[in-house]
A and B are shown apart, each in its own frame.
Chain A
Amino acid sequence: MAIRTRTIALLVGAVVVIGGGGIAGRMLFLPGPLDFAGGTRVALADYKAPSPVGVPAELANASLIEKGRYLTDAADCRACHTAKGGTPFAGGRPFKLPFGTLYTPNITPDKATGIGNWTDAQFLRAVHQGISADGTRLYPAFPYASYSLMPDGDVLAIKAYLFSLQPVRQANLPNSFTFPYNQRWLMGFWGYFFNKDKRFEAIAERSPEWNRGAYLVEGPAHCGECHTPRTLAQAMNTRQKFAGGAAEGWNAYNITGDRTTGIGAWSKPEIEAYLSTGHANGRGVASGPMREAVDLSFSKLTKGDIAAIATYLQTIPPIHSARLGAPAAFAAASHAQGPTDNPIGKRVFEQACVSCHAWSGKGALVADAQLTAKKAVGDPTAANVALMVLQGTVPQTAGRPYMPGFAHSYSDTEIAAVANYVTARFGTMPSKIAPKEVGKLRAE
């Protein structure tokens, strides 16, 4: 996901501080995305093996527009640039940030309200540098720090696809930011330090599959934007690469090689299944923004590309998340054993949850419904559990079980209670989420 409730408040503050006194270079000079891998960097032009960029072999002979469609899916442009129930790519999706609401712009080729008048150069500058056609700076909610790894050819293929769409006349909604957050020029500083604006380079010692995975993960799929924690200046803290970040109130969990809190114990087929279907038995179910990423992006990628992503992810150095519990064993099959200090949570669970999830957490009906060992139930913030209860999940893949959202029928107290009950019953680090926090998540 490209956009998260990152605190640009902090960002602006940090930039000011940096400008004023100059804080540690550590903060400004972060490792590059592939630095962990070592080896010899090879510019794409000099890389002899099958190219890690562009479209997979299956689409080698496809039209530019077809290629562009694939890359647009890989970059998941649709998720952010579509309002709920709105026309794809016509923008208008709101992202609530602490200092106002940001609305994504219309990127259909409408000349008046979309990007129909943009030149190739303008489009490249936007995607690589975060500068709009009219010269204004884009907020880094738009993940250009990742997209800048994409070579011109890939970016222009996306443009070709977008320009093949029906233009939609839909004016962009103004962001409701107040001073100083509306000072877009400040973003220039940010880009200067945190967007290297350098295209992808392969690593000679690694396999072509690994390099393909690296490109997809770091570039178009922009995984780190959510899964890497942010520094005070809101840059991806690549020293903590993939150790867990946040998106729209959800925690984006550790996807490093750590065996208990990352995905080090997941098999390659499990990672592949998770990405392409949103579910890996006993491992996790994609929810919230990740569900969108699966539905709109990963599920559309070829098997080969998914395998490449998995191959690459399996090489991310492990980092242990101390604030995430290790997976628990299955809970007791009887309601009578388990947390006893949370009658409200238990009541909601027995009313609305147990039919599918079972008292054991194994899932009463389908594997998707297993709670035990899921990262969310080991998360003592309980944010994802609470959000799941509030919003539910409706996969686009027809016929699969889904979970309804309970926001309209249970109070903040009840949802906080059931979230705490779930983490206590099925996890190893019970949570204490408060009704107030649920109220905030409700607004997401």
Chain B
Amino acid sequence: MLELSINGEAHRAEVTADVPLLWVLRDVLGMTGTKFGCGIAQCGACTVHLDGQPVRSCQLPVGLVGARKITTVEGVGATPAGAAVQKAWLDLDVIQCGYCQSGQIMSAAALIAATPAPTDADIDAAMAGNICRCGTYVRIREGIKKAAAEHHA
């Protein structure tokens, strides 16, 4: 039995330590906001925060999480950076199909939490691991700048 702290709540899961966190979240705990896109850390759809750091949950064996705090898209709105990103995303209508956006929002929230005024290079460095097949990149870039400005205002 594994103990996990997710979005500030304690959760238990009966799984072997090798199961990637992604599947524990989605299939065992029923938290389907975190998405499966590739399974090989190449698309970013499964991004969650571990102690605030963005990580690809599809490649993270749940046994390695330990006491670190997990934040998912379901809980990121409770953080100031996450709320700022969500708001900017709605204000600018960033989203199309939305399937990649859980991951985009998690990566973006981690970025603006750490970087007050992200440059284009900062955005590239933080977001190039997140694929959007609908092609919302133009607005993701704008959204990050807007969210950062409001968050750090």
Contact = CB atoms under 8 A, between A and B. Distances in A.
B124 A347 contact: yes
Given A364-B56, A365-B60, A401-B59, A356 B121 contact: no
A350 B129 contact: yes
A404 B39 CA distance: 11
B88 to A, nearest CB: 22
Contacts of A274: none
Point out which of B42, B64, B122, B125 has the most chain A C-beta atoms below 10 A from its C-beta: B125
Interface in A359-382: 359, 364-366
Contacts of A359: 125
Interface string B105-147: 0000000000000000110111011000000000000000000
B56 A355 contact: yes
B18 interface: yes
Given A356-B41, A366-B59, A350 B64 contact: no
A353 to B, nearest CB: 9
B42 A355 contact: yes
Contact of B56 (A352, A356, A404): A356
A335 B121 contact: yes
A366 B129 contact: no
Interface residues of A, number: 17
B128 A347 contact: yes
Given A364-B56, A365-B59, A352 B124 contact: no
A355 B121 contact: no
Contacts of B33: none
A273 interface: no
A399 B39 CA distance: 12
A335 B42 contact: no
Nearest to A353: B129
Nearest to A367: B64
Interface string B50-82: 000101100111001000000000000000000
Interface of B is mostly: mixed
Interface string A395-434: 0000101101000000000000000000000000000000
B92 interface: no
A365 B129 contact: no
A335 B128 CA distance: 12
A80 B48 CA distance: 42
B132 to A, nearest CB: 13
Given A347-B128, A365-B55, A366-B64, A355 B41 contact: yes
A121 interface: no
Contacts of B40: 402, 404
Contacts of A61: none
A399 B41 CA distance: 14
A334 to B, nearest CB: 8
A178 interface: no
A166 interface: no
B121 A336 contact: yes
Contacts of A347: 124, 128
Point out which of A347, A351, A352, A401 has the most chain B C-beta atoms below 10 A from its C-beta: A401
B122 A356 contact: no
Interface of B: 18, 40-42, 44, 53, 55-56, 59-61, 64, 121-122, 124-126, 128-129
25 contacts: A335-B121, A335-B122, A336-B122, A347-B124, A347-B128, A350-B124, A350-B128, A352-B42, A352-B129, A354-B128, A355-B41, A355-B59, A356-B41, A359-B125, A364-B53, A364-B55, A364-B56, A365-B41, A365-B55, A366-B59, A366-B60, A366-B61, A401-B41, A401-B59, A404-B40
Given A350-B129, A401-B61, A404-B40, 15 more contacts: A335-B121, A335-B125, A335-B126, A336-B121, A347-B124, A347-B128, A351-B128, A351-B129, A355-B56, A355-B59, A356-B41, A365-B59, A366-B60, A366-B61, A401-B41
Shortest Cβ-Cβ A-B pairs, 9 listed: A335-B125, A350-B128, A399-B18, A355-B129, A355-B41, A351-B128, A365-B60, A350-B125, A356-B41
